[in-house]
Structure 1
Amino acid sequence: MMAGSTLRKVKSRSWKKQRHFRLLEDGLTIWYKSRWAGRGHSTFSVSEVEAVREGHQSEVLLSIADEFPAHLCLTLVFHGRQGNLDLVAESPEEAQAWIRGVRKLIHKAETMDEKERLDQWVLDWFQKADKNKDGRMNFKEVRKLLKMMNVEMNEEHAFHLFTMADRSESGSLEIEQFVHFYKMLTQRDEVWKVFQEYSGDGEKLTLEELENFLTQEQQEGECSGQHAQELMNRYEPSETAKKQGAMSLDGFQMYLCSQEGSIFKPEHRQLHQDMSQPLSHYFISSSHNTYLLEDQLRGQSSLEAYIQALKRGCRCVEVDCWDGSDGEPVVYHGHTWTSKILFKDVIATVKEYAFKTSDFPVILSLENHCCVEQQTVMAQHLKQILGDTLQRTLLDGQVPEQLPSPQELKGKILLKAKKIGRLEESCDGTVTDEMSDEEDMANGDADNPCAEQPSAERQKKSKSKLSSELSDLVVYCKSIHFHGFEHARLHSKCYEMSSFSESKAKKLAKDAGTDFVQYNTKQLSRIYPSGLRTDSSNYNPQELWSVGCQIVALNFQTAGLEMDLNDGLFSQNGCCGYVLKPEFMRDGNTTFDPEKPAERRAPRPLRFSIQVISGQQLPKVNQKEGSIVDPLVRVEVYGVPQDQAKAETNYIHNNGFNPVWDETLNFVISTPELALVRFVVEDYDKASRNDFIGQFTLPFTCIQAGYRHIHLLSKDGTAIPPSSVFVNISISELT
């Protein structure tokens, strides 16, 4: 890989171009260029690559399978929403060298400890700044580096640090000297002050002093000496200090910057909730228009969109089915210019990726616009491709009083669609069945400008026939029309579920919050975005979670606040796609109403206080040379209406490297079980809208008190190490 290879980069059947690829000396950066591109080239880090697929495992490579055999093909899959890189090697040996090599490098990148990650980051900067590649940096190169690293520094001070690091007095720094320069540059007074408060001699923390810090500041209860010893063993870089049973400032800072020192409770990241309750007792990570990579007017429909959603822990995917011209049903956004993919390919993709991230059940939400004949084809594909993974019968042969649990349905795929009759009955043939709200909209609704408005003749046929073969595959998720909460109380079965447009759901939540919460203790509700959202934008899911709606479907392909909230909620419980609702939302007799949370007998509201201390190595948002960010931090609370709040710090002028705010923001939270907290860092701009720098969102119940680092994510939801915000968090009952 370091010697380099010529590989074909493939974008389509007609776009196949040779590029020279090689692995750079750092062992973590892949460089490539066209032989005709002069000095122009591109690079990407192995840390950006999530996986390597071997053979024809992408739509693009499948389209050229007749031209290039599978043993020459490979696909690099990137984190987040970045597109795949499809490559064709000149020989099977070369393909294998790159497949095995990149996989090894991914493993190496994923298993680095905190110190190794930081060292790699520093090395990356050194190589970026060392323009003439002589392994040394003069002061002019260092000055440019500081700009690249997002720091505005007094030139005199910078030269002073440079001189101190230049122990050989050569006027330039080698890599080891540069590391020393970097340490002086990143010396964090705010961490040193915390260290001093607990260190008896100001040089180190004894085991007892570290225990005191963990108990008093980090509020970790009666911290055992064993835990303190484990942290010393894990994060103290000095063997001498370890032998003395002590932690140095370097070790202390490394612990604070680690996942254990992060804002997220480590135990909540693991699968820790009761998974044996009915499906209706869980929030379920859900996608809308799952087949789309972009907008819903002209966007591309792609199998990759299903793969990306399932890898993000999504447990309910949508499949819009229409008659295909050759008898094979197709999936796309009807009556638009979105491209079409085959239904059978979608089902095969779901089968392959359904349980790679989570073992818990996947719901296929079927939007059925097909004729009876093609519905029968769909049923055949579902049975043949999914086999035993498709849940086609009642678990114990008995019609249930409540839905089965995620635990009972592990490894199973459920079909959500219309069904002939009830589970209690047995029907043959085809019958007329009423459409759900969502299907009414798809067949012509004023709320959906991209849908074809129905003719008088079509309106007469507003009820369509069902294939009994397809109907028989629906067990626990039968789509029905919603006739009101009173009707549901008297007549509905637990396996019947309705879909609501966001506007209808929000109105019900506001006008009849308690009824909606009670309804959702027994039955599943699916909420979908308005048809007016032709750009595939999203609504705020929190309003619907607050009345217990389980399947709050979002456009996963669209980054932003709404997907941050979704990612935040489902980042707990092992990212399995299921989160147990609070106890007061699982009781069928609950009186909880998010509009009036004070009426619930509950503990006192909580005071949530965040001291925003400092930021570390924030990424640049404007790549112009000399451009430095002016960062501010905003804390946003999302929950019941009473808890919605925002507050922000002042901005720091020209410093994205190590800004210090030292400002405290305060909130009162009445219903912590439903609150999500989003930390956003922005680049202040007085003339226009602030630019986004990074964010991190998590459930309030997952927050660790004390001195914590918030590790920022990009707009895409991917990590941007080592960017972080250092805070001190206090949570107490309101007196």
Structure 2
Amino acid sequence: MDPECSLSQEDPDIRVMMEGSTLRKVKSRSWKRQRHFRLLEDGMTIWYKSRWAGRGHSTFSVAEVEAVREGHQSEVLLSIAEEFPADLCFTLVFHGRQGNLDLVADSPEEARAWIQGVRKLIHKVETMDEKERLDQWVWDWFQKADKNKDGKMNFKEVRKLLKMMNVDMNEEHALHLFTMADKSESGSLEIEQFVHFYQLLTQRDEVWKVFQDHSGDGEKLMLEELENFLSTEQQEGERSAQHAQELIDCYEPSELAKEQNAMSFDGFQMYLCSQDGSIFKPEHRALQQDMSQPLSHYFISSSHNTYLLEDQLRGQSSLEAYIQALKRGCRCVEVDCWDGSEGEPVVYHGHTFTSKILFKDVISTLKEYAFKTSEFPVILSLENHCGVEQQTVMAQHLIQILGDTLLTTVLNGHIPQQLPSPEELKGKILLKAKKIGGLEDCLDGILTDEVSDEEEGNGDAESLSAEGQATECLDVTGKVQKSTSKLSRELSDLVVYCKSVHFHTFEHARLHGKCYEMSSFSESKAKKLAKEAGSEFVLYNTRQLSRIYPSGLRTDSSNYNPQDMWNVGCQIVALNFQTASLEMDLNDGLFRQNGCCGYVLKADFLRDSNTQFSPEKPEERKDYRPLRLSIQVISGQQLPKVNQKEGSIVDPLVRVEIYGVPQDQAKEETSHINNNGFNPVWNETLNFIIHTPELALVRFVVEDYDKATRNDFIGQFTLPFTCIQAGYRHIHLLSKDGTAIPPSSIFVNISISDYT
């Protein structure tokens, strides 16, 4: 029954892993410990322990591993490169925010077996279909519950298993199901019988009812019946005929049913639990937006203090933080640069205890990882605290390390009237920093542009000019000001389409602003402008980029709500990616569409150069069309436990939260179900009116109800309203970290209609 057996028995790399190896686990130059690692019989769990730790051990699933890096590809392994050659070293990289596992083998052959073996198992996980995934999940539970490892499970073990699986079942009913599954009447279940027990346990009456409502004979859905279901219930309209046949071909396990052009209940349930049956429109997952419009017409996934793994006071600065942000689709990273020893600039959060990393190492990391997740441009937002000498060193590193990847001249040799598009800038890194003069020649020796007097995140007043010479700039009233701060000409020359300037007023920007000039706003300043001059902010953002950053008071690296900024079309809304939060759920939700490429095309009313849209008054938009969103929350499936104590079981409730223009902010929740995280049924309907559907995000949250204290988080999923599929859908839940927690889901029926 073991889903991995065939791979395990035949493959030499898997065999090495199953026999086990002593590997060094490395945490730092001084912390290196030997641990015995081996792959368990399920072919999915890696177990390891110290020789001296008695019975204590640790395990993790291959499903948690995202990738394997060979050689010295982590800061820790680089630090011990002289001690251990690259062909002994490898790094396991986990999904989400979990730290890496750096390992050193005794021989190159052993390292190679583990590297290749884990990669094969990752590939196996990624290519499993729904049935294989479920089989694997059932196998995992069997392994956990079979305490004495005899390949059988008695009723006492099954009772414990039910608690582990988050279900509080009547003992009499559990014994009845156990007896039905125990065909051999031996008083214990082997794995095949356990699968039968699991099927009895997980019978989905609510899905069976939907199936029965559309099946003529109650046994199967004929092609025409499935078409009718897709058209009427799933609101698929014209595409339902072709789609029905595709679904049968893809999800129907019975060859006999396939021959009859029909779908059995098993096939129907597999379809509903698949990506096709998920709440997220499959076509919106792919890269499907127009990428040929100016940069200012897109929301851009953006990180603040990208170098930090933790908080802003004592957190560790790390290259890994850049890698993690870029893997999540981030397209604007921040680099805080300070003068370092031996002439090398360093990156860290100034005037704090955060650790330091070399600027050149950050740029090397950027070069390697910038375009692995997305091919569209990356903006390098520079917060520059260095003297002229080390600024010049920075310029040299940027040129030498990034080479052709760094954009250093305007496209086509023309001064732009509008910004180039993501399509035109594919594979390019753009420097955002202060610049001497503009792209145009300065007139009469007077620079009619001011550089930023606001260092992002710190609010340091500072205007930089060339080589410390006094440069005259016109201020908003036309008076000449003098600035004697220092900016390296070499660094300045690398700034093309993202020149940092100080923001005066929207009127000043309208009269004097260039499309390649961009300003940064603190969250409070941006929120104030959005409330007091929303339509002007929207208009400003049709032509110029704006970057929003968290308040300097957020020393814990918490986040502000990005929705307020997106409502007025701000493109670069920078968040602390290192902090799991509701705000990061919203960011992940928005950028989950369009191939997770980090760019999302703004709604047409946020791109129109004559727009008068105001988020405060959505009903004044000429094509205003509010919609009614009705969500019947039907049931939940295999919700994870919050408290790992053996006897504890969750009391789940579902809350739906809408984020959008002020009139659309809303929350509704179901009642809670006592003691059932396994298959809770709510059958409750939540209703919303959405005034600006193009800007709305919908967040589904499942919590463990507690009347005495705050509810505990169980899982969530956030997506743009425009990406929702109507009909009977499963919402596959994500952890706090934004990683999948299969097979946990919520089953809903969604209806979207005009609000009149």
Counterpart among 526, 547, 556 of residue 568 in structure 2: 547
Distance in 1 between the 2:140 and 2:603 partners? 45
Counterpart among 375, 378, 384 of residue 359 in structure 1: 375
3-state DSSP class of the match of 1:367?
A: strand
Counterpart among 225, 230, 253 of residue 214 in structure 1: 230
How far does residue 433 in structure 1 lie from its aligned partner after superposition?
A: 8.7
Contact kept, 8 Å, 1:619 with 1:656, in 2: the verdict is yes
Counterpart among 22, 47, 72 of residue 6 in structure 1: 22
Q: Does 1:262 align with 2:283?
A: no
Aligned to 2:406: 390
Aligned to 1:467: 488
Distance in 1 between the 2:329 and 2:612 partners? 32
How far does residue 589 in structure 1 lie from its aligned partner after superposition?
A: 1.1
Aligned to 2:684: 663
Counterpart among 49, 52, 59 of residue 65 in structure 2: 49
Measured at CA, do residues 291 and 73 of structure 1 come closer, stay the same or move farther in structure 2, by a change above 3 Å? Answer: same
Contact kept, 8 Å, 2:456 with 2:522, in 1: the verdict is no
How far does residue 430 in structure 1 lie from its aligned partner after superposition?
A: 14
Deviations 1:402-431 (A, max 9, x none): 00000000000000000000100279x999
How far does residue 228 in structure 1 lie from its aligned partner after superposition?
A: 1.0
Deviations 1:466-493 (A, max 9, x none): 0000000000000000010000000010
Q: Does 1:633 align with 2:649?
A: no
How far does residue 442 in structure 1 lie from its aligned partner after superposition?
A: 2.7
Aligned to 1:708: 729
Paired residues for 1:60-459 under 5 Å:
60-425=76-441, 436=452, 438-439=454-455, 442=458, 444=460
Distance in 2 between the 1:315 and 1:552 partners? 11
TM-score (norm 1): 0.96
Distance in 2 between the 1:155 and 1:362 partners? 58
Please report the RMSD computed on the Cα atoms of aligned residues, expressed in angstroms: 1.6
3-state DSSP class of the match of 2:341?
A: coil
How far does residue 435 in structure 1 lie from its aligned partner after superposition?
A: 5.0
Distance in 1 between the 2:304 and 2:502 partners? 19
3-state DSSP class of the match of 1:476?
A: strand
How far does residue 603 in structure 1 lie from its aligned partner after superposition?
A: 4.0
3-state DSSP class of the match of 2:417?
A: coil
Counterpart among 543, 548, 558 of residue 537 in structure 1: 558
3-state DSSP class of the match of 1:730?
A: strand
Contact kept, 8 Å, 1:431 with 1:465, in 2: the verdict is no
Distance in 1 between the 2:591 and 2:542 partners? 20
How far does residue 495 in structure 1 lie from its aligned partner after superposition?
A: 0.2
Contact kept, 8 Å, 1:23 with 1:30, in 2: the verdict is yes
The percent identity for this pair of structures is 86
Distance in 1 between the 2:357 and 2:66 partners? 25
Aligned to 1:693: 714
How far does residue 233 in structure 1 lie from its aligned partner after superposition?
A: 1.6
Unaligned runs of 5+ in 2: 1-16, 462-480
Deviations 1:497-529 (A, max 9, x none): 000000000000000000000000000000000
Aligned positions, number: 720
Q: Does 1:571 align with 2:592?
A: yes
Distance in 1 between the 2:482 and 2:152 partners? 77
Distance in 2 between the 1:300 and 1:648 partners? 39
Aligned to 1:451: none
Aligned to 2:530: 509
Measured at CA, do residues 430 and 516 of structure 1 come closer, stay the same or move farther in structure 2, by a change above 3 Å? Answer: closer
Q: Does 1:643 align with 2:664?
A: yes
Contact kept, 8 Å, 1:434 with 1:463, in 2: the verdict is no
3-state DSSP class of the match of 1:192?
A: helix
3-state DSSP class of the match of 1:439?
A: coil
How far does residue 602 in structure 1 lie from its aligned partner after superposition?
A: 1.9
Distance in 1 between the 2:483 and 2:732 partners? 52
Measured at CA, do residues 574 and 363 of structure 1 come closer, stay the same or move farther in structure 2, by a change above 3 Å? Answer: same
3-state DSSP class of the match of 1:87?
A: strand
Contact kept, 8 Å, 1:72 with 1:92, in 2: the verdict is yes
How far does residue 437 in structure 1 lie from its aligned partner after superposition?
A: 5.0
How far does residue 441 in structure 1 lie from its aligned partner after superposition?
A: 5.9
Q: Does 1:683 align with 2:699?
A: no
How far does residue 463 in structure 1 lie from its aligned partner after superposition?
A: 5.5
How far does residue 385 in structure 1 lie from its aligned partner after superposition?
A: 0.2
3-state DSSP class of the match of 1:710?
A: strand
Deviations 1:42-91 (A, max 9, x none): 11111100000000000000000011010100000000000000000000
Distance in 1 between the 2:191 and 2:600 partners? 47
3-state DSSP class of the match of 1:475?
A: strand
3-state DSSP class of the match of 1:388?
A: helix
Contact kept, 8 Å, 1:560 with 1:715, in 2: the verdict is yes
Measured at CA, do residues 103 and 426 of structure 1 come closer, stay the same or move farther in structure 2, by a change above 3 Å? Answer: farther
The one-letter code of the counterpart of 1:668 is: I
Distance in 2 between the 1:477 and 1:521 partners? 15
Contact kept, 8 Å, 1:430 with 1:468, in 2: the verdict is no
3-state DSSP class of the match of 2:312?
A: coil
Deviations 1:560-585 (A, max 9, x none): 10000000000000000000000011
Distance in 1 between the 2:498 and 2:118 partners? 42
3-state DSSP class of the match of 2:412?
A: coil
Measured at CA, do residues 250 and 443 of structure 1 come closer, stay the same or move farther in structure 2, by a change above 3 Å? Answer: closer
How far does residue 443 in structure 1 lie from its aligned partner after superposition?
A: 6.2
Distance in 2 between the 1:430 and 1:76 partners? 56
Aligned to 1:611: 632
Deviations 1:125-165 (A, max 9, x none): 00000000000000000000000000000000000000000
Distance in 2 between the 1:259 and 1:496 partners? 42
Contact kept, 8 Å, 2:383 with 2:456, in 1: the verdict is no
3-state DSSP class of the match of 1:562?
A: helix
Contact kept, 8 Å, 2:575 with 2:584, in 1: the verdict is yes
Distance in 2 between the 1:437 and 1:538 partners? 24
The one-letter code of the counterpart of 2:86 is: A
Unaligned runs of 5+ in 1: 446-459
Distance in 2 between the 1:222 and 1:433 partners? 55
Distance in 1 between the 2:243 and 2:278 partners? 16
Contact kept, 8 Å, 1:291 with 1:305, in 2: the verdict is yes
Distance in 2 between the 1:212 and 1:179 partners? 33
Counterpart among 550, 557, 560 of residue 578 in structure 2: 557
Contact kept, 8 Å, 1:595 with 1:640, in 2: the verdict is yes
Contact kept, 8 Å, 1:433 with 1:464, in 2: the verdict is no
Distance in 2 between the 1:461 and 1:69 partners? 56
How far does residue 556 in structure 1 lie from its aligned partner after superposition?
A: 0.1
Aligned to 1:654: 675
Distance in 2 between the 1:225 and 1:673 partners? 29
TM-score (norm 2): 0.94
How far does residue 242 in structure 1 lie from its aligned partner after superposition?
A: 1.7
Distance in 2 between the 1:78 and 1:566 partners? 21
Deviations 1:184-239 (A, max 9, x none): 00001000000000001111111111111011000011244332122112111122
Measured at CA, do residues 96 and 432 of structure 1 come closer, stay the same or move farther in structure 2, by a change above 3 Å? Answer: farther
The one-letter code of the counterpart of 1:86 is: D
Aligned to 2:42: 26
3-state DSSP class of the match of 1:242?
A: helix
Paired residues for 1:470-489 under 5 Å:
470-489=491-510
